[in-house]
Structure 1
Amino acid sequence: MMQLLRHAPVAALLLACLTPLPAMAAAQCHVAPESQQALPALVGRTTYPHAVQQAHDVSLRVVVDAQGNPVEASVDGSTSADATRRSAMRWKYRCDDDKGGIAEWVLHQPAQHCKMNLTVKGFNPPRYPPEAFKAGTEGEVLIGLYPQGDGLVARHIIIAQSSGSTVLDEAAVTAARRWSFDCDAGMEDAEPGQEVPVNFRLN
């Protein structure tokens, strides 16, 4: 009995070391409103170009680093989840401490009121850069276009996903600057941007 008592503190210490500690909750983070307003969530290729997105809510969960940059994002409920995820990865975030954390919220995706004018787009196709053609460089660029209601060129153009070639990316943006939209009267400032794929293929 005395021997058991003598070793009891050691046994208790071993038991404490083997018992898993409770997981610490990650700090709460929030998307920076000015970041989100500057680049509203894009609508992906699932709705381009024939259908328009109806208004709906999307659940977002974003892991944020100590500098307020997104590390990874998951999306639930979006009709174009990949485009929404890429949008969330472009925004900046603020956390309750300086160690990063998790941002979870419900994002309202407004309805679309603009469609790409395919006639204008067809008359202004991207031109294959000669240097890329000679080098055999291929790729797909996802261009993000933010429409405006006057039917003119997009108010804002971004590279939503690079082809991996700066030359191809620039050629896609140059073409996109000549494209336009057809918008109905219900368009608002919150009109979603649209991801448009631009493919450069040698065959």
Structure 2
Amino acid sequence: MSSILSGLLALLVMAGAPALAGDGVDPTAAGEAVLTLRVDGQLTIDPEGRVSEYRVEGSLDPAVAGMLQRAVPAWRFKPILVDGKPAIATSPMRITLAAEEMAEGYRVKVDNVVFWPNTPEQHAAAEASRLAHPDMRVAGEAPRPRVRILSKTMRPPVYPPEMMQAGVEGIVLLSLRLHPDGSVAEAFASQSSLLNVKGRPEILDRGRIMLERNAATAAKRWRFTVLAEDAATLAPGDLTVRVPVEYSLGPMAKGGSLAGQWRHEFRGPNRPAPWLPPEEATRVRVSDLSARDILAGSSPFELSDRSVIGKAL
């Protein structure tokens, strides 16, 4: 580990440069070390927004499973309306947990929870539901425009040679604002992490920033397909896509799953994309997504009390 860090320091000194103005990267953003674990599953709510059923995929440590068993049934959601009436609704669920080392063991909290499809089958089911119930919406909120965004050309960025030589892996969460024609209007690095590496924070932050700049530069050349009745009238939030960019040398480079595995992250702050309302801008975090996940639009599943995020289990 120390040799990796020393190599990273030497290479960053040679290759490092201050972030350019307007490139969607904040060179002053400081990171922190955190252990994270993802739990994938499914959740069903009743017409009143109470959790009626949930399940998780794969096996979990019994202590973690017990914590979730106590916490998840108490969550409350804004009811989902179908044809104007509250309905039973089911959604894929991904919970991200974070662990903080204490004097005696670890303190585990809910780092975030998102309700977007994660597999091709879930994407197909979500699209079928949208077609069957075009007026499905969150109670108390105006319906969002029907828009679907698909990837068209997404050439991945080149792994920075200096980072590859140092054996440093990472992930960058990009927020992209699209033009109605599917080209990228703005590319903003919302958050980034270096994976499974420890060392001096100022060195690791420079590594994160290098990956953020690399990913944002590549994304400006990407193209998407925007499917909507009138794409020219869509608001910036409806034309926003969140894309994780992974830099991996190990099993994750072959598309492996992170679900159920603790990993060490040196993670930067979650910064809001400037064109989004504050309440929407930071709902998704870098620890929540894997390569090939593309999040567009919004999920009808919405916690009525978001104080569960950050709460110890």
TM-score bracket for the superposition, by shorter chain length: 0.3 to 0.5
Larger Rg: 1
Question: TM-score under structure 1 normalisation?
Answer: 0.43
